[in-house]
Structures are given as C-alpha cells and as structure tokens.
Amino acid sequence: MTLLYSLSGLSYHIQSWLTRLLGNTMAVLVSEMVIVGLCLIGFLVLLSFTLGYMERRVAAFMQLRLGPNRVGPKGTLQIIADTIKLLFKEGLTPTNADKFMFNLAPYIMIITTMLVTAPLAFARNFQIWDLNIGVFYVSAVSSISVIGILMAGWSSNNKYSLLGAMRSGAQIVSYELSIGLSLISIVILTGSLRISDIVMSQQNGWWIFKGHLPALIAFVIFIVASTAEINRAPFDLAEAEQELTAGFHTEYAGMKFAMFLLSEYVNLFIVSALAATLFLGGWMPFHIGSWSGFNHVMDFIPSSLWFMGKTFFVIFIIMWFRWTFPRLRVDQLLNLEWKYLLPISMLNVLLMTLVALLGWHG
C-alpha cells in the first residue's frame, strides 16, 4: 500500500532547521518540546471553538431550529464572543473553600487532557510520542481526571459540588471497566499496545469489519461507556442542572470555568479519536479487497483528513446521543454498567479471543 501524503516531512524539516540553528545539543530537544507544546495548546483551543460551534449547530438541527445566527456569518463568531466574556469575567473563590485545591483542580483537568493526546496518530508518521504502551498509557493517564473532579467538588465547600463530584467519581470508576475491556478486545486482535501498530494492522481492512461481531459489540460498548466517562448527556449526572446547579464546577467562573469546558471538549475529541484509531483504521484510507483502482483513489485523500473525518463522525454520534436520549437516574446509570455492559464486555473478550485464536480476523 502506498500513501501519497504524509506529514512526517514537516517534522523532519523543523528538526533540521533547529539543528542547523542550535547545533546538535539539548537545546534542540527543549526547543522541539516547546514548539510541540505551543502547537498543541493552539490546536486544542481551536478544537474547542470548533466543537462548541458544532455542538450548538447539531443541537439546533436535532431540535428543528436555527442555532446561533447573530454574531458573525452563520453565528461562527458566537463562540469567540463567549470566550471574550469568560476572559473578562471575575473568577471568585468561595470564602470557606480550600483555596489551593480549588485553584489547582482546573489545571489538573486540562493538563491531563493534554497528556492523553501524546500517543494519538493524527496522520501517517505524525505523532507526538509513539510509545510501545500507547493504549495502556491513554487508559491510565485519562483516569487521573477524576482526581481533578473530586478535588473541585470537595474544595468548593458546596453541597451541590460535593454531590456532583461523588457521582462523577462513581461513574468514571464504573465505566472505566467496560472501556478497558473494549480496548483489550482490539489489543487481542493486533497483539500490540502501540498505536502505530494498531493502525498499520488495518491496512487490509478496519477492525470494525475484520473483527466481525465481537468488534462491533466492542465499538458500541466503547462509545456508550466513553460518553459516560466524559460526563456527557444522557450520563451527565455529575452536573445535572435541575438537581445540582452545575455539579462539581458550580462555584467556578471566568477562565477556571473555561478550563473545565475546554477539558470536556478535548476529552470528547480524545475518546472519538481513540475509537476512530482502534476500530475505524485511524488515518488509514478505506480499502476494499482487490479493488486496486478504488483503493488507489482513496490513497489520494491525505491521511490527516481520514483521521479527522472519522473522529468527527464519532463526535457527531456522541452529540446525537446528547440531544436524543433523556438523562438517566443514578441507579439506572450504575445498573447499565454493572448489570449489562460489564458482563457483555467480559463475554465479548472471550469471544474475541476465540476469533483471534482461530484466525477468523483476516
């Protein structure tokens, strides 16, 4: 298979330029890290703007209304106006709050989300860090976000915040099990935890097709459990407005609140990107068997467009959930995981192991 487009040349030219400028020293490595960090921050901010606008448009589409249409062409600048409002809004700290933990919580949330993006393959040969335990790293580091939520709820000295944080803790710990088992299903097929290996294993077909029924079941469970993991409706019990005002971030305002909002959108992107990578081939083009002409045409589409297209397709599905299903009760939320998703996931792992051992996965 030949892919016509790759972003690896861009990173190579930047590294060559830095080496000529600074010499082959530690300064090159530090400079690369700074450039990657700044690019990542810029990308995540732009991504949150895009997803904020997309969220409102999808909501309007689902509810047969227009959505934002006043500020800028087709309402495209509405999210910019909201950001400016948050920038100038005063960030208050409650009198009896634990001030250190109250101020630290939003940073833990945003730092965690930035760390999780490291192993994601945004295009062919274009990753921040292609480590050999990529899937395990994403699963482990993403779990740290619950600490930020619990810290925010407890330190606010607000009963609504504390209830929201406790709900979120129970929810994330529960649904992590099903997510982990869904990830293990694909690891069983590929025999590797490295993200690049998982993508390359889908050269002759995406796992959602090659893995047969177990892969489809794992994909559905992953989408449902991920929606609960990132506290999005219909699983947003941690910030149920009718019951808890805004849940764990009730007392936050200004840029601290914006950090929670940014981390929610980045988490939405991360779980969608992970689903696209593990089940839908990541940046790999869509190929059909021996259709060489069709496959060659698919190779003309840049790998970054394949990755972003698949990711935004999954994002649309998760947004579709939000504006279709009513919010669950807490007991329904936990019953869904412990009585249905977890047993199905465990049986599905056994079924996937059988498929892998018998070589039915192609």
Per-residue tens of pLDDT for the chain, all 362 residues: 444 456 666 777 777 777 777 777 777 778 888 888 899 999 999 999 999 999 999 999 998 898 888 888 888 899 999 989 988 888 888 888 888 999 999 999 999 999 999 999 998 888 888 889 999 999 999 988 889 989 998 998 888 888 888 888 888 889 999 999 999 999 999 999 999 999 999 888 899 998 889 999 999 999 999 999 888 878 887 776 666 677 788 888 888 888 988 998 999 999 999 999 999 999 999 887 777 888 888 888 888 999 999 999 999 999 998 888 888 888 898 999 999 999 999 999 999 999 999 888 76
> In 3D, which of 293, 278, 310 has the Cα closest to residue 197?
278
Q: How far apart are CA 322 and CA 189, in angstroms?
A: 31
**Residues whose CB falls within 8 Å of the CB of residue 39, separated by 6 or more in sequence, listed in order:** none
pTM comes to: 0.91
CA–CA distances in Å: residue 266 to residues 49, 109, 144, 234: 11, 10, 15, 18
Q: Where are the domains of the chain?
A: 92-358
Q: Are 272 and 311 in contact (CB under 8 A)?
A: yes
Q: How far apart are the first and last CA of the chain?
A: 17
